[in-house]
Structure 1
Amino acid sequence: MKITVAADACCGAGQCVLTAPEVFDQRDEDGTVVLLDGTPPAERHDAVREAAALCPAGVIELHA
């Protein structure tokens, strides 16, 4: 799995960080998503899929 984020469209809701904190973080100054791991290990894939589904701005893209 490869992850990309469109940080410029992020609304800063933080659902990704709550769901997959090993993969996502937020910038302190504005809450915009920060991708910590663009190719997470298999054991984190379920959490990443859930984070993408919960993202209200739809900025998380998952690639096979």
Structure 2
Amino acid sequence: MNFTEAIRLSKKYAECPKCGNGNIGAGEGTVDIDENSFERTCKCGWNITVKDKQNS
């Protein structure tokens, strides 16, 4: 994933839109960025995966 797009998504999903949790790690939530996607999860069960259109 493009670095600029990963930063934009990180800011957009810094806090969970469902419960407002902004913590990552220790069972609170995760962020996983690789060359093809951005994934953010939360302890409340909310998650989103955004696929990189350029590398798909």
**TM-score, structure 2 normalization:** 0.27
Higher relative contact order (CA 8 A, sep 6+): 1
Structure with higher strand content: 2
The structure whose Rg is larger is 2
Structure with higher helix content: 1
